[in-house]
Amino acid sequence: MTIGEHILILRKKHNLSQSALGKKVDTSGDIIGRYERDIMMPSIEVIMKIADALNVSIDFLVGKTTLELDSNVLKRVEEVSKLNDEEKDKIFMVIDALILDFKAKRAYS
C-alpha cells in the first residue's frame, strides 16, 4: 500500500475532509488530494505532521509496519523502554499473564 493510500484510509477513518486534514498540517486540501493520489510525495516534515494529525506512527503511515500504534500506546511503550531490564521483565510478565487471561476468556465465551 502506498503512503497516499494510507493517508486516504486514515483520513476517512478519522472523518476528516481533505481540507480539514490540510488545515491540521498547514497545507491545502488540494495538496492532500495529490498526496492521496500519489501525484506528489510529502516531505518528511509534512509526513511527521500528517502522522501526528492522524494519530499514527510515521512507520505505519509510510507502510513500513502494519502495526498501527496511536500516540497513547507509543508513549507507554517508550516509558517501558526507559526502564531497566528487571523492571521490563516484571511488566512483560504481567502483560503476558493478562493477554493469556483475555485469550482464555475469549475462547470460552
Residue 66 belongs to some domain of the structure: no
Does pTM top 0.85 for this prediction? Answer: no
- Spatial neighbors of 42 by CB under 8 A, at least 6 apart, are 3, 35, 50
Q: In this predicted model, what pLDDT tens digit does every residue of 12-56 receive, in sequence order?
A: 999 999 999 999 999 999 999 999 999 999 999 999 999 999 988
What pLDDT shows up at residue 73? 83
Q: Note whether 57 and 76 are same-domain residues.
A: no
CB environment 60-94: b (16+ within 10 A), e (fewer)? bbbeeeeebbeeeeeeeeeeeeeeeeeeeeeeeee
> What pLDDT is recorded for position 63?
85
Residue 37 included in any domain: yes
Number of domains into which the chain is organized:
2
**CB-CB contact of 19 with 28 (8 Å):** yes
Residues 83-101 have a mean pLDDT of 95
39 lies in which domain range? Answer: 3-61
Do 53 and 30 fall within a single domain? Answer: yes
Cβ–Cβ under 8 Å, residues 75 and 31? no
Question: And the C-alpha cell for 35?
Answer: 498526496
Whether the per-residue pLDDT at 109 is higher than 90: the answer is no
Q: Do 53 and 8 share a structural domain?
A: yes
